Structure 1
Amino acid sequence: MRIMGRPRALVTVLAACLLVAGCGAGPSQVRAAILFSDNEVSTDQVQFLIDKAVQEQPAAQQLSQQHKLDQLGRAIVGQYMLHDAVRRAAQREGLVADENAVSKTLEQDPLAQPVSTTGVDPSQIATQIAYRARDHREVIVDNVLMQELGAKYVSNLSVTFDYTTVTDRDQAVAKANQMAADPGAATRLIQSDAATGKDASFGFKVPAVQSPDLAATVLYGVQPGTVVAFQPSSQYATWVVGVVRARDLSTPQSVDNTSEPTANQLVAIGARLLQPYVDASGAKINPRYGVWDPVAMNVAASEAETTGLVLSTKGSTQP
C-alpha cells in the first residue's frame, strides 16, 4: 500500500492538516509550566505566546474579553506536550522532516491568516490561535513528522480489544473502574451487556487501514491490558468502554476495499502514536493550566473535564 505520495502532494495536504482540528502535587518549580524528565517549559514561555496572540489575533482578543484566555493557555501547553513527544519519537524512529515539504509549506504559510471564528468549531479556536502564536516552522515540522510517523505504521497497525457500549459518561466511568479493579469484571460485564442486545463483543480486531479514524483514538495508543473509556464521536451519545488485549505494530494487515488514508488521518494517527512517548517523558503539568487528558491528547481544565479514562488493570505493570 503506497502511503506517502510525492513531496509536491505532501506540501498541498500539509496546509489542510494545519487548518483542521487534528492531536498529586504539581511541578516542584513554580515557574515551570511543564516539567519533563530532561527539560522544561516555563510559565514565561506560555505567557509570552498568550500575550503575542492577544496582540496579533482578533480571536484571541475576543477570548480575553470573554475571560477565556485559560483555554488558550491549555492549548499552548498541550501543543508543547506534543512537540516534546514528536522530538522523542523522531529520535527513536529515525524520522527527519522532509525539508522540501517544510519549506514549500512555509512559502504558502497556512498559519499566516488570522483565525476565523465564522463556521469554526468553538472548541478548536484556541488550538488554531496557539498554532499561529508559535513559531510557524516548528508547527509545520511537527505536523510533517506526525504524518511521517502515521505513514510508517498505518499499514501494520492493528488493535484487538473487548468492549461494551453505554450512553453517558457516568456509566462509562463506572464500568471502566470496575474493569480496571477486577480483570474478571470485564468479561462478566461484556457478556451481560451482549446478552441484553447491547453493542458488545470480545476479541474485536481492527487494522488501522480498515478504520483510519478509529486508529486515531485512544484504543491505538495504549498497551495491552489497559482499560479505556471514550466517546468515538461527539456527534453521537455512545461511549465505548473496553480492554485492549493486543496491539500490533509490525504485521502487515491485508484488508479488502480500503482507500489510502488522507493526510489528516495520517497526522491524527501519528499524533496517537505519540501517546507512549508522552507517558515516557515524565511530564508534570503545572496545575494552573490543568491536567493531561490522554484520550484527547490535550490539556483539560480538570480531571472531571477530561474526555474519557485510561486505566491500568489491577496487577498490570503498564503505566
Structure 2
Amino acid sequence: MTTAMRRSVVLIAAATTLVAGCSTGQGDPSVAVAVGGVNLATVDQVQQQLSDLLTNNQQAQDMAKQRQLDQVARGIVTQDVLHVLTAEAAKQQNVTVDESLVTQLAPILTAPPQQQQGTDADPAAQTTAVVNAAFPATDVARDKVIQMQLGRKSVGTVSVTADVAILSDQNEARSLANRIAQSPDKAVPLIQSAKSMVQDPFVDRRFGYRASDKQHDPANQIVGVAAQPFMYVPAGSVLMWRLTGEQGGYAVIYIKDRQTGPAPADLDLSQVNPLQFVDVGKFSLVPLALQRGVKPNQRYGEWDMVNMQVISASEAATGSFVIAPANPKQ
C-alpha cells in the first residue's frame, strides 16, 4: 500500500468517525433527510459521497485534517433538499432548461471560488466548492440554472410590510420573536420597547419593488431585496435572523402583510448579472419548504428555514428561525 493510499484510508476512517455518530429522536436512522415525508437520501449514500471526496479532492482532505467534514456532510444534505425543491418549483412554474446551456455553464458555475472571484475565497465558499464536487457538475449547474430562472421570474412580484427590530442579545431577540408570535396584535409596542441597536425600529416598513420609487432604486438593489428570505414567508410569520457582517446582531421581523402580483412591465433587469438571480431563486423556495417540511437526520443537525440549509444543533440553538402562523394568510 502506497503512502497516498494509506493516507486516504486514514482520512476515510476519520470521516466515518466524524459524521457517523448516533441518530437520536424520531425517524428512520438510516435516512439522511426527508422532504414532505419522502426520503431523499440515506446516511450510507452521504457517507459514500464523503469517502469519494476524500479519495479525490484535496480540499476535502484538508478539511478532514481540520475536523470540518461535518460541514461538508451538512452541505451535501442541503444540496439534496434544494435539488428536490428546485425540481418541484420548476414543474409548478413551467420552467424548462436548455441542456446545452447547462453544459456550457457547468465549468463556470462549479468552478473553485478562486477562479470565480479571482481572489482567495472565504471558508464558506471553499466548503461550497467541496460540496459541489460531491455531485456531477452538470447536476449542480442545472439546479443553479433553474434557480436563476425562478429568481428572474420572482423579482418585482413580491412586496411585504413588516415591523423590524435589531437587537444585540440573542436571548432577548428570541424572547421578542416568541412574544410577537403569541401576541401579533402587540407587535408594534413590543418592538418599540425592545433594546434596539438602531435609534428607531422599523414600523410598517415596506420591502419590495414599488413603481413610485423605481427610478431611485438601482436594479441590483431591487434584486438584492428580492433575495431576502423574509420576502417569502407567509403573512403573520415572525423571523429571528442572525445577521452577518461587522455589526452582527439579530433582526426580529414580523411580516404584517405580503402582496404578490405580476412584475411591472417597465422593470428593467437587463443589466443585472444573471448569477445574482440564483439566490433569489433559492429563497423563493421558502414557501415550498414550509409546505412540505424538511426533516434532516439529527446526526447532521436541523433545517434552517431562514437560510435554507442544514445547520448543526449548536448553531440552531443560537441561529435563525421562522415561526409561521397556524393559519397563514398566504
Q: TM-score, normalised by structure 1?
A: 0.81
Q: 1:240 to 1:113 in 2, by over 3 A?
A: closer
2:18 is aligned to: none
Q: How far apart, in 2, do the equivalents of 1:277 and 1:195 lie?
A: 32
Q: How far apart, in 1, do the equivalents of 2:276 and 2:190 lie?
A: 32
Q: Structure 1: which 5+ residue stretches go unaligned?
A: 1-24
Asked whether 1:308 is paired with 2:320, we answer: yes
2:298 is aligned to: 287
Count of matched residue positions in the alignment of Structure 1 and Structure 2:
293
Task: State the Cα distance separating 1:95 from its structure 2 match.
Answer: 0.8
Q: How far apart, in 2, do the equivalents of 1:128 and 1:113 lie?
A: 6
Q: Structure 2: which 5+ residue stretches go unaligned?
A: 1-23, 210-218
Q: How far apart, in 2, do the equivalents of 1:280 and 1:264 lie?
A: 27
- The question of whether the paired residues in 2 share the 8 Å contact of 1:217 and 1:295 is answered with no
Describe the SS at the equivalent of 1:234. Answer: coil
Write the mapping of 1:206-285 to structure 2, written as runs, cut at 5 A.
Answer: 206-208=207-209, 210-253=221-264, 260-285=271-296
Q: Percent identity over the alignment?
A: 28
Task: State the Cα distance separating 1:43 from its structure 2 match.
Answer: 1.1
Which protein shows a greater Rg?
Answer: 2
Task: State the Cα distance separating 1:193 from its structure 2 match.
Answer: 5.2
Task: State the Cα distance separating 1:196 from its structure 2 match.
Answer: 11
Runs (4+) of structure 1 moved beyond 4 Å?
112-116, 193-197, 253-260, 315-319
- The question of whether the paired residues in 1 share the 8 Å contact of 2:234 and 2:328 is answered with no
2:310 is aligned to: 299
Q: How far apart, in 2, do the equivalents of 1:115 and 1:47 lie?
A: 27
The one-letter code of the counterpart of 2:61 is Q
Deviations 1:185-206 (A, max 9, x none): 3121233359997331222112
Q: 1:255 to 1:186 in 2, by over 3 A?
A: farther
Higher relative contact order (CA 8 A, sep 6+): 1
| Larger mean Cα displacement after TM superposition, 160-169 or 218-227 | 160-169
Task: State the Cα distance separating 1:219 from its structure 2 match.
Answer: 0.8
2:172 is aligned to: 171
1:15 is aligned to: none
Q: How far apart, in 2, do the equivalents of 1:195 and 1:288 lie?
A: 36
- The question of whether the paired residues in 2 share the 8 Å contact of 1:77 and 1:299 is answered with yes
Q: 1:289 to 1:270 in 2, by over 3 A?
A: same
Q: 1:49 to 1:114 in 2, by over 3 A?
A: farther
Q: 1:71 to 1:195 in 2, by over 3 A?
A: closer
Task: State the Cα distance separating 1:297 from its structure 2 match.
Answer: 0.9
The one-letter code of the counterpart of 1:33 is A
2:17 is aligned to: none
Q: CA RMSD in A?
A: 3.1
Q: How far apart, in 2, do the equivalents of 1:296 and 1:309 lie?
A: 9
Write the mapping of 1:1-319 to structure 2, written as runs, cut at 5 A.
Answer: 26=25, 28-36=27-35, 37-106=37-106, 108=107, 111=110, 119-192=120-193, 198-208=199-209, 210-253=221-264, 260-302=271-313, 304-305=315-316, 307-313=319-325, 316-317=327-328
- The question of whether the paired residues in 2 share the 8 Å contact of 1:85 and 1:281 is answered with no
Q: How far apart, in 2, do the equivalents of 1:259 and 1:194 lie?
A: 42
Q: How far apart, in 1, do the equivalents of 2:321 and 2:108 lie?
A: 36
